[in-house]
Amino acid sequence: MLNTTLINRYQILRELGSGGMGTVYLALDTYLEREVAVKMLDHHKFGTEGRGMLMHEARATARLSHPNVVMVFDVGELDRTPFIVMEYVPGHTLAEEKPHRLNEIVRLTRQVCAALTHAHAKGLIHRDVKPGNVLVSPEGVAKLMDFGLARATNARVEPEGSFTGTVSYVAPEQAMGEEVDPRADLYALGVMMYELFTGQLPFSGTSMQIIIKHIQEMPPSPKSLNPDLPSALDELIMHLLQKNPADRPDSAESVGHLLGILGDLYRMAFVH
Protein backbone atom coordinates (compact mmCIF):
# COMPACT_ATOMS: atom_id res chain seq x y z
CA MET A 1 0.00 0.00 0.00
CA LEU A 2 2.85 2.41 0.68
CA ASN A 3 3.28 5.06 -2.03
CA THR A 4 0.00 3.94 -3.63
CA THR A 5 -2.09 6.87 -4.86
CA LEU A 6 -5.84 6.40 -4.47
CA ILE A 7 -8.10 7.85 -7.20
CA ASN A 8 -5.17 10.00 -8.37
CA ARG A 9 -5.37 12.08 -5.22
CA TYR A 10 -4.47 10.40 -1.91
CA GLN A 11 -0.85 9.24 -1.64
CA ILE A 12 -0.39 6.60 1.09
CA LEU A 13 2.57 7.51 3.31
CA ARG A 14 2.58 5.02 6.20
CA GLU A 15 0.37 2.77 8.31
CA LEU A 16 -1.10 4.35 11.46
CA GLY A 17 -2.78 1.28 12.92
CA SER A 18 -5.27 -1.49 12.35
CA GLY A 19 -8.23 -3.04 14.10
CA GLY A 20 -11.99 -2.97 14.06
CA MET A 21 -13.04 -2.91 10.43
CA GLY A 22 -9.73 -2.22 8.70
CA THR A 23 -6.34 -0.54 8.50
CA VAL A 24 -5.75 3.18 8.82
CA TYR A 25 -3.01 4.94 6.84
CA LEU A 26 -1.54 8.40 6.86
CA ALA A 27 -1.88 9.88 3.39
CA LEU A 28 -1.26 13.12 1.55
CA ASP A 29 -4.16 14.81 -0.20
CA THR A 30 -2.22 15.96 -3.26
CA TYR A 31 -4.99 18.34 -4.33
CA LEU A 32 -5.17 20.33 -1.10
CA GLU A 33 -1.64 19.47 0.12
CA ARG A 34 -2.77 18.30 3.55
CA GLU A 35 -2.34 15.12 5.55
CA VAL A 36 -5.41 12.91 5.91
CA ALA A 37 -6.20 9.51 7.41
CA VAL A 38 -7.39 6.78 5.04
CA LYS A 39 -9.29 3.81 6.47
CA MET A 40 -9.32 0.76 4.22
CA LEU A 41 -11.42 -2.33 4.75
CA ASP A 42 -9.77 -5.73 5.03
CA HIS A 43 -12.12 -7.22 2.45
CA HIS A 44 -10.58 -10.70 2.73
CA LYS A 45 -11.63 -10.80 6.39
CA PHE A 46 -14.94 -8.97 6.36
CA GLY A 47 -16.36 -9.40 2.88
CA THR A 48 -19.65 -7.80 1.90
CA GLU A 49 -20.82 -7.21 5.48
CA GLY A 50 -17.64 -5.36 6.41
CA ARG A 51 -17.83 -3.27 3.25
CA GLY A 52 -21.36 -2.23 4.10
CA MET A 53 -20.31 -1.35 7.64
CA LEU A 54 -17.44 0.81 6.43
CA MET A 55 -19.62 2.68 3.95
CA HIS A 56 -22.23 3.16 6.66
CA GLU A 57 -19.54 4.78 8.79
CA ALA A 58 -18.76 7.19 5.97
CA ARG A 59 -22.37 8.15 5.40
CA ALA A 60 -23.07 8.55 9.11
CA THR A 61 -20.02 10.63 9.92
CA ALA A 62 -20.31 12.74 6.77
CA ARG A 63 -23.56 14.08 8.22
CA LEU A 64 -21.63 15.46 11.18
CA SER A 65 -19.61 18.67 11.29
CA HIS A 66 -18.35 19.43 14.77
CA PRO A 67 -14.94 20.22 16.33
CA ASN A 68 -15.27 17.19 18.62
CA VAL A 69 -16.00 14.69 15.82
CA VAL A 70 -13.41 13.26 13.42
CA MET A 71 -14.55 14.58 10.03
CA VAL A 72 -15.04 12.47 6.90
CA PHE A 73 -13.84 14.11 3.67
CA ASP A 74 -14.26 11.48 0.94
CA VAL A 75 -15.06 7.85 0.13
CA GLY A 76 -13.94 5.62 -2.71
CA GLU A 77 -12.83 2.16 -3.80
CA LEU A 78 -9.54 0.57 -4.85
CA ASP A 79 -9.95 -2.75 -6.67
CA ARG A 80 -13.40 -3.10 -5.05
CA THR A 81 -11.93 -2.39 -1.62
CA PRO A 82 -13.71 0.63 -0.15
CA PHE A 83 -11.90 3.33 1.77
CA ILE A 84 -12.81 6.43 3.77
CA VAL A 85 -10.74 9.61 3.81
CA MET A 86 -10.91 11.27 7.21
CA GLU A 87 -9.45 14.14 9.15
CA TYR A 88 -5.99 13.20 10.41
CA VAL A 89 -5.73 13.80 14.14
CA PRO A 90 -2.24 13.26 15.56
CA GLY A 91 -2.22 12.38 19.22
CA HIS A 92 -3.55 9.44 21.21
CA THR A 93 -6.78 7.82 22.29
CA LEU A 94 -8.03 7.89 25.87
CA ALA A 95 -7.35 4.15 25.96
CA GLU A 96 -3.70 4.66 25.03
CA GLU A 97 -3.03 7.52 27.42
CA LYS A 98 -5.45 8.19 30.25
CA PRO A 99 -5.58 11.64 31.87
CA HIS A 100 -4.99 11.77 35.63
CA ARG A 101 -6.11 15.23 36.65
CA LEU A 102 -9.75 15.29 37.66
CA ASN A 103 -10.46 18.55 35.86
CA GLU A 104 -8.80 17.20 32.69
CA ILE A 105 -11.05 14.12 32.70
CA VAL A 106 -14.07 16.37 33.22
CA ARG A 107 -12.99 18.69 30.39
CA LEU A 108 -12.45 15.88 27.88
CA THR A 109 -15.66 14.11 28.87
CA ARG A 110 -17.55 17.35 28.42
CA GLN A 111 -16.19 17.54 24.87
CA VAL A 112 -17.39 13.99 24.19
CA CYS A 113 -20.81 15.13 25.41
CA ALA A 114 -20.68 17.97 22.88
CA ALA A 115 -19.93 15.46 20.10
CA LEU A 116 -22.80 13.23 21.21
CA THR A 117 -25.17 16.19 21.46
CA HIS A 118 -24.39 17.04 17.83
CA ALA A 119 -24.72 13.43 16.64
CA HIS A 120 -27.99 12.86 18.50
CA ALA A 121 -29.41 16.06 17.03
CA LYS A 122 -28.64 14.60 13.58
CA GLY A 123 -30.49 11.40 14.45
CA LEU A 124 -27.38 9.28 15.02
CA ILE A 125 -26.56 6.96 17.91
CA HIS A 126 -22.88 6.13 18.17
CA ARG A 127 -23.38 2.74 19.91
CA ASP A 128 -19.70 2.26 20.72
CA VAL A 129 -18.61 5.12 22.97
CA LYS A 130 -15.40 4.07 24.75
CA PRO A 131 -11.90 5.45 25.46
CA GLY A 132 -10.50 3.76 22.36
CA ASN A 133 -12.87 5.79 20.18
CA VAL A 134 -11.89 9.16 21.64
CA LEU A 135 -8.83 10.78 20.09
CA VAL A 136 -7.07 13.58 21.95
CA SER A 137 -5.13 16.02 19.77
CA PRO A 138 -1.84 17.61 20.85
CA GLU A 139 -3.87 20.73 21.65
CA GLY A 140 -5.99 18.72 24.09
CA VAL A 141 -9.14 18.55 21.95
CA ALA A 142 -11.20 15.36 22.26
CA LYS A 143 -12.62 13.99 19.01
CA LEU A 144 -15.10 11.12 18.85
CA MET A 145 -14.42 8.68 16.03
CA ASP A 146 -15.47 5.37 14.52
CA PHE A 147 -19.14 5.68 13.75
CA GLY A 148 -18.90 2.26 12.07
CA LEU A 149 -21.42 0.94 14.56
CA ALA A 150 -23.62 3.99 14.47
CA ARG A 151 -27.20 3.56 13.33
CA ALA A 152 -29.66 6.23 12.36
CA THR A 153 -32.31 6.56 15.06
CA ASN A 154 -35.04 5.57 12.63
CA ALA A 155 -33.14 2.58 11.18
CA ARG A 156 -34.53 -0.91 11.53
CA VAL A 157 -33.73 -2.78 14.74
CA GLU A 158 -31.08 -5.53 14.60
CA PRO A 159 -32.29 -9.14 14.69
CA GLU A 160 -33.60 -10.14 18.09
CA GLY A 161 -30.86 -11.15 20.52
CA SER A 162 -28.04 -9.38 18.67
CA PHE A 163 -26.26 -6.13 19.41
CA THR A 164 -23.49 -3.92 18.11
CA GLY A 165 -20.95 -2.36 20.42
CA THR A 166 -18.19 -3.35 22.82
CA VAL A 167 -19.19 -5.68 25.66
CA SER A 168 -17.59 -3.72 28.51
CA TYR A 169 -19.43 -0.50 27.56
CA VAL A 170 -22.74 -1.79 26.23
CA ALA A 171 -26.03 -0.53 27.66
CA PRO A 172 -28.42 -3.18 29.05
CA GLU A 173 -31.07 -2.60 26.39
CA GLN A 174 -28.39 -2.74 23.69
CA ALA A 175 -27.00 -5.98 25.12
CA MET A 176 -30.46 -7.53 24.93
CA GLY A 177 -30.81 -6.57 21.27
CA GLU A 178 -33.63 -4.12 21.97
CA GLU A 179 -34.22 -0.89 20.14
CA VAL A 180 -31.99 1.84 21.55
CA ASP A 181 -32.06 5.62 21.68
CA PRO A 182 -29.39 8.21 22.57
CA ARG A 183 -29.54 7.18 26.23
CA ALA A 184 -27.60 4.02 25.29
CA ASP A 185 -24.67 6.31 24.48
CA LEU A 186 -25.10 7.97 27.87
CA TYR A 187 -24.75 4.59 29.58
CA ALA A 188 -21.52 3.92 27.66
CA LEU A 189 -20.34 7.41 28.60
CA GLY A 190 -20.99 6.51 32.23
CA VAL A 191 -18.89 3.35 31.88
CA MET A 192 -16.09 5.37 30.30
CA MET A 193 -16.20 7.93 33.10
CA TYR A 194 -16.22 5.15 35.69
CA GLU A 195 -13.08 3.70 34.13
CA LEU A 196 -11.27 7.03 33.83
CA PHE A 197 -12.00 8.08 37.41
CA THR A 198 -11.36 4.70 39.09
CA GLY A 199 -8.86 2.97 36.81
CA GLN A 200 -11.10 -0.05 36.31
CA LEU A 201 -14.26 -1.07 34.51
CA PRO A 202 -17.56 -1.49 36.38
CA PHE A 203 -17.77 -5.20 35.54
CA SER A 204 -15.28 -7.97 34.87
CA GLY A 205 -15.48 -11.62 33.80
CA THR A 206 -16.14 -13.44 30.53
CA SER A 207 -18.05 -11.63 27.80
CA MET A 208 -21.28 -13.39 28.76
CA GLN A 209 -20.76 -12.66 32.48
CA ILE A 210 -20.18 -8.99 31.73
CA ILE A 211 -23.32 -8.79 29.60
CA ILE A 212 -25.40 -10.39 32.37
CA LYS A 213 -23.95 -7.95 34.92
CA HIS A 214 -24.80 -5.00 32.69
CA ILE A 215 -28.37 -6.24 32.58
CA GLN A 216 -28.83 -7.32 36.21
CA GLU A 217 -26.29 -5.71 38.55
CA MET A 218 -25.21 -2.26 39.69
CA PRO A 219 -21.44 -1.85 40.11
CA PRO A 220 -19.74 -0.57 43.27
CA SER A 221 -19.89 3.21 43.41
CA PRO A 222 -16.86 4.92 41.84
CA LYS A 223 -16.26 6.73 45.13
CA SER A 224 -15.84 3.40 46.91
CA LEU A 225 -12.88 2.74 44.61
CA ASN A 226 -11.58 6.31 44.52
CA PRO A 227 -12.42 8.05 47.82
CA ASP A 228 -11.06 11.34 46.45
CA LEU A 229 -13.81 11.47 43.81
CA PRO A 230 -16.26 14.30 44.59
CA SER A 231 -19.74 13.09 45.50
CA ALA A 232 -21.37 15.02 42.66
CA LEU A 233 -19.34 13.11 40.05
CA ASP A 234 -19.98 9.83 41.84
CA GLU A 235 -23.72 10.49 41.70
CA LEU A 236 -23.59 11.54 38.05
CA ILE A 237 -21.80 8.36 37.00
CA MET A 238 -24.24 6.15 38.89
CA HIS A 239 -27.10 8.13 37.32
CA LEU A 240 -25.67 7.38 33.86
CA LEU A 241 -25.39 3.67 34.72
CA GLN A 242 -29.03 3.12 35.57
CA LYS A 243 -30.49 -0.01 33.96
CA ASN A 244 -33.68 1.67 32.81
CA PRO A 245 -32.97 4.33 30.15
CA ALA A 246 -35.78 6.45 31.62
CA ASP A 247 -33.79 6.71 34.86
CA ARG A 248 -30.70 8.15 33.15
CA PRO A 249 -30.08 11.84 32.36
CA ASP A 250 -32.29 13.00 29.52
CA SER A 251 -29.54 14.13 27.13
CA ALA A 252 -25.81 14.42 26.48
CA GLU A 253 -26.33 18.18 26.47
CA SER A 254 -27.57 18.18 30.06
CA VAL A 255 -24.65 15.97 31.15
CA GLY A 256 -22.21 18.29 29.42
CA HIS A 257 -23.78 21.32 31.11
CA LEU A 258 -23.39 19.71 34.54
CA LEU A 259 -19.81 18.74 33.78
CA GLY A 260 -19.09 22.34 32.86
CA ILE A 261 -20.30 23.49 36.27
CA LEU A 262 -18.36 20.75 38.07
CA GLY A 263 -15.25 21.44 36.01
CA ASP A 264 -15.23 25.04 37.23
CA LEU A 265 -15.55 23.84 40.83
CA TYR A 266 -12.81 21.20 40.57
CA ARG A 267 -10.37 23.05 38.32
CA MET A 268 -7.37 22.48 40.56
CA ALA A 269 -8.29 19.02 41.85
CA PHE A 270 -6.42 15.83 41.03
CA VAL A 271 -7.30 12.17 40.71
CA HIS A 272 -4.96 10.00 42.75
pLDDT at 163: 54
Task: Give catalytic status of residue 264 as yes or no.
Answer: no
- Whether 5-87 and 92-265 share one fold: the answer is no
- Cα separation, 203 vs 206, in Å, equals 10
pLDDT at 56: 76
Q: 34 has which bridge partners? A: 29
CATH of domain 92-265: 1.10.510.10
CATH of domain 5-87: 3.30.200.20
Residue 15: what are its φ and ψ, rounded to 5°?
-80, 135
Averaged pLDDT in 10-residue chunks for the chain of 272 residues = 83 87 90 94 65 73 92 85 90 93 95 97 92 95 82 42 74 91 97 97 94 96 96 97 97 97 73 42
pLDDT at 269: 47
pLDDT at 4: 84
Q: Where are the domains of the chain?
A: 5-87, 92-265
pLDDT at 60: 79
pLDDT at 17: 87
Instruction: State the pTM of this model.
Output: 0.88
pLDDT at 159: 43
pLDDT at 58: 78
Write the secondary structure of the chain as one string of H (helix), E (strand) and C (coil).
Answer: CCCCEECCCEEEEEEEEEECCEEEEEEEECCCCEEEEEEEECHHHHHHHHHHHHHHHHHHHHCCCCCCECCEEEEEEECCEEEEEEECCCCEECCCCCCCCHHHHHHHHHHHHHHHHHHHHCCEECCCCCHHHEEECCCCCEEECCHHHCEECCCCCCCCCCCCCCHHHCCHHHHCCCCCCCHHHHHHHHHHHHHHHHCCCCCCCCHHHHHHHHHHCCCCCHHHHCCCCCHHHHHHHHHHCCCCHHHCCCCHHHHHHHHHHHHHHCCCCCCC
pLDDT at 153: 39
pLDDT at 44: 66
Of 42, 128, 146, 264, which residue is the catalytic one? Answer: 128
Q: 26 has which bridge partners? A: 14, 37
